[in-house]
Amino acid sequence: MSANSKSKDINSVLKHPEVEECTTSINSALLERIHFSPPVCPAFSAPCTELVEDDSYEFQIHPAAREQLPDIIKNKVQRIIGVDKVNEAKKKDYGKKRNIGVVFSGGPAPGGHNVIAGLFDAMQAANPESRLYGFLLGPDGILENDYVEITADMVDAHRNLGGFSMIKTGRTKIDSREKIELARETCKALKLDALIIVGGDDSNTNAAFLAQEFYKDGIQVIGVPKTIDGDIQVRDVNGRVLCAISFGFHTAARSFAHNINNLCSDASSDVKYWHVCKVMGRVASHLALEVALQVHPNITLIGEEMVDYVDTKRIEKAEKEGTIDYTAYGMTLRHVSRRICDAIVRRAAVGKNYGVIVIPEGLLEFINEIQIFIIKLNTIIGEYNATHDTDFHSAFPVLEDKLDYLRRMARLARENRTFSVWNTRDDDLFNDLPSFFQEGLLTERDSHGNFQFSQVETDKVIMGLVKDYLKILAERGEYKMGIKRQWYKRTLELAGLLPDYYGPVLFRNYNTEDEFLLMKKSIVSLKTLGQELISAGVIQKKQAIPKPIEQVYKASVPKFKTQYHFYGYDGRGNDPTWFDCTYGYNLGRTVFSLVANNVTGQMAAIRNLEKDFSEWEPMGIPIAPQMHLEERKGKMELVLEKSLVDVNSTAFKVFAALREKWLAASPGPDCYRRPGPIRYTKETEEAQPLILKLNNLDNS
């Protein structure tokens, strides 16, 4: 057959109706999903909405926010209520033709397309002449006036779907006079009434500054709380919850949980791997905590809890010596690895040479020694960029160059006896780290000056220490596989040996009721095994170790094998859960209400997310009063405060109380939980994140 006739064949195969059906990108699951209509809050069933100022929420306003955001700092919480009857003037204003621009900023988060859908539907209902423009590739689209007009077809093709593919996203920060003026030009050229920024803490910070800048131009700026990290949670000074979580968190957590549960199932079937799962979340460990509650993995580390750790032994020692040991406060990398080793050793003792560990990607932020490096390096890179034409990473493209630069800094400080952010001690400690870790710590900061935790192999750093220490424990005879008593007996009896004759010589707990036998600590090799048997008189000098005994010994030697997984980008791109479909859609409707009621510098939010949908309430939260000063690129900047895991919350306490059970370092089955796959219908999908449900108990 000639090449030509072959290609003809495949072309006719491709035209076959069944092949077409198999290979089309449209399938019934997709169609069902895009046709799903999320329910709307009662306020949005009315033809019009209005705002009711709620003075009962109090914020502690930072003086820098008062100074830098004077026109929006007095904004109040606004409740959105539906109104059926309105006067002509209001009706006219509410339904006037509007031009609105929307941009996605930062990492994708499931539910984003529904924000656009909700906004689009509300705009169309108020006035079909209104125009919605989507800026392409994130804030760059605003700076470069690169946009598309969002049409009904585009919206319909993306309803309830994950990703931000409709208009894409980017991480550029609009942070210079020049960029602000470019943004103003674009908004004016498009005659925008409002600009909607769908983003995380940094993007909402940007929204506040743009709201201030555009105040006199009459262009409203509204933020939308997006991020899978779940670190946008707003409470007032009295702890009253205004925004329990950002959209995207639930889906990402459910996606990670589903995949990690699959690993639990695999691990407990072939019983030979420890699966190490790094999960996204930048700094905060909300995602790791939610995954822990959803799946019950054997070990979950929560960064926030490391900070409060106090090493009492070190403190006592220092007190006796009349000194203060500052390193006793906060957990070190070594401490963390020891905790993991302890858990691995305990599971091995009951025959479980496998398990699942969840490590939040931002864990290092909470480890004292590493946090100091991150702050110092941020400062060094920030100062370098501020004083040189080229930026630090272009000037020193390879690791060796960067290390040289740091070495020179330390040397100069030493020779000139001057104070330097980087001293010889820092340099020595830094040079002790593995090069892949040094590279990670020196990695380029994002445009907001954030350390890029997702680029650092946190899991490998920690597990490297774990492996080293397990080796030491094995050499000391403390890390052993527990041997099932029955298996031991059967193995010896089959070979005609008496189990009770050898048992007390081999095992430290032979004369107990324990189901698993632990080889004596002194037996760490075939040689020491032989010596033990000889000194107990059960074999003669030069006599070979009986084969079944050798077999039992070998079974007691643990083989620690790991598999690494990173859960981040996959969950970020997942199609949204019912919660995120509904939350995103109602946020979009909320955005329109805020715009149509003429406010600016507000963040769209839904109150009572932790409760049943019937209690969800749309509202606007003022952004400026939530801001505080934070170190960015070595400088203090006014930003929206990130919310971290509260170790006093019910969700954390429940996790802390059950983690020993979930470690399952006892004979018997593991306690893994199957959260099931993601759906978009409430009937088959958990209604909201478990941390929200549990933390709601704090308020009841």
Binding site for ligand FBP (CB under 6 A): 106-107, 109, 200, 227-229, 280-282, 361, 453-454, 572
Strand partners for 225? 199
Looking at the Cβ atoms of 255 and 298, the one nearer to ligand FBP is 255
Q: How far apart are CA 678 and CA 660, in angstroms?
A: 28
Least distance CB 459 / ligand FBP (angstroms): 14
> How many Å separate Cα 87 from the centre of its chain?
47
Shortest distance in whole angstroms from residue 138 CB to ligand FBP: 10
Number of Cβ within 10 Å of residue 209's Cβ equals 22
Taking the complex as a whole, the smallest distance from the CB of residue 85 to ligand FBP amounts, in Å, to: 41
From CA 316, how far away is CA 330, in angstroms rounded?
A: 16
R_g of the chain computed on alpha carbons:
30
Q: Which segments within 38-146 are labelled E, that is strand? A: 48-54, 77-83, 99-104, 131-135
Residue identified by tokens 């009986």 is 546
Tokens 């946190």 sit on residue: 458
CA triple 404-428-430, angle to 5 deg: 75
Amino acid (1-letter code) at residue 644: L
Q: For 364-498, where are the alpha helices, taking DSSP H only?
A: 368-387, 392-395, 399-416, 424-431, 435-441, 458-475, 485-494
Q: Toward ligand FBP, which CB reaches closer, 193 or 229?
A: 229
Query: Shortest Cβ distance from residue 330 to ligand FBP (Å)?
Result: 22
* Residue 347, token pair as written in the block: 């599971």
**Residue 573 beta carbon to ligand FBP: minimum distance, rounded to whole angstroms:** 10
CB closer to ligand FBP, 101 vs 568: 568
Q: Which is nearer to ligand FBP, 246 or 593 (CB)?
A: 246
Please tell me the distance from the alpha carbon of residue 38 to that of residue 118, in angstroms, as a whole number. Answer: 10
CB of 568 to ligand FBP, least distance (A): 6
Between 228 and 288, CB nearer to ligand FBP: 228
**Amino acid type, 200:** G
Please, are residues 628 and 234 in contact by the beta-carbon 8 Å criterion? no
**CB of 575 vs ligand FBP, minimal distance in Å:** 17
Looking at the Cβ atoms of 186 and 246, the one nearer to ligand FBP is 246
Strand partners, 83: 48
Say if residues 642 and 626 touch (Cβ distance below 8 Å): no
Query: What 8-state DSSP symbol labels residue 581?
Result: H
Which residue, 267 or 284, has its beta carbon nearer to ligand FBP?
Answer: 284
161 or 280: CB nearest ligand FBP: 280
Instruction: Tell me if residue 61 falls in helix, strand or coil.
Output: coil
CA 584 to CA 420: how far, in whole Å?
48
Residue closer to ligand FBP (CB basis): 281 or 530 = 281
Which distant-in-sequence residues (6+ apart) come within 8 Å of 220 by Cβ? 193, 194, 195, 211, 214, 594, 595, 598, 599, 600
Minimum gap (Å) between residue 283 Cβ and ligand FBP? 8
Residue 580 falls in the annotated catalytic set: no
Q: Residue 496 CB: number of other CB atoms within 10 A?
A: 8
Beta bridge mates, 241: 235
Q: For residue 83, count other CB atoms closer than 10 A to its CB.
A: 13
Q: Are β-strands 516-517 and 483-484 bridged in parallel, bridged antiparallel, or unpaired?
A: antiparallel
| Alpha-carbon gap, residue 328 to 377, rounded angstroms | 23
What does the DSSP assignment read for 648-686? TSHHHHHHHHHHHHHHT-SSS-----------SSGGGS-
Contact 265, 355 (CB under 8 A): no
Q: Residues 175, 202, 229, 426: which is the catalytic one? A: 229
Closest CB 572 distance from ligand FBP, rounded Å: 5
Residue 206 vs 556, nearer CB to ligand FBP: 206
Q: Whole-angstrom Cα distance, residue 409 to residue 426?
A: 11
Q: C-beta of 458: minimal distance to ligand FBP in Å?
A: 11
The separation between CA 531 and the C-alpha centre of its own chain, rounded to angstroms, equals 52
Q: What are phi and psi of 276, to 5 degrees?
A: -105, 115
Helix (H, G, I), strand (E, B) or coil at 92: helix
Residue nearest ligand FBP (C-beta atom): 106
**Nearest distance from residue 98's CB to ligand FBP, in Å?**
27
User: Nearer Cβ to ligand FBP, position 121 or 361?
Assistant: 361
Name which of 281 and 558 has its Cβ closer to ligand FBP: 281
Q: Which is nearer to ligand FBP, 368 or 443 (CB)?
A: 443
CB of 312 to ligand FBP, least distance (A): 34
Place of tokens 């407990």: 268
Map 134-152 to HEC letters.
EECCCHHHHHCCCEEECCH
Q: How far is the CB of 127 from ligand FBP (least distance, A)?
A: 32
Pairing of strands 194-199, 220-225: parallel
**In terms of Cα–Cα distance, which of 156, 51, 84 is closest to 113?**
156
For 122, the token pair is 């509300």
Q: Which CA distances in Å does 524 have to 233, 404, 482?
A: 52, 44, 14
Catalytic residue set: 229
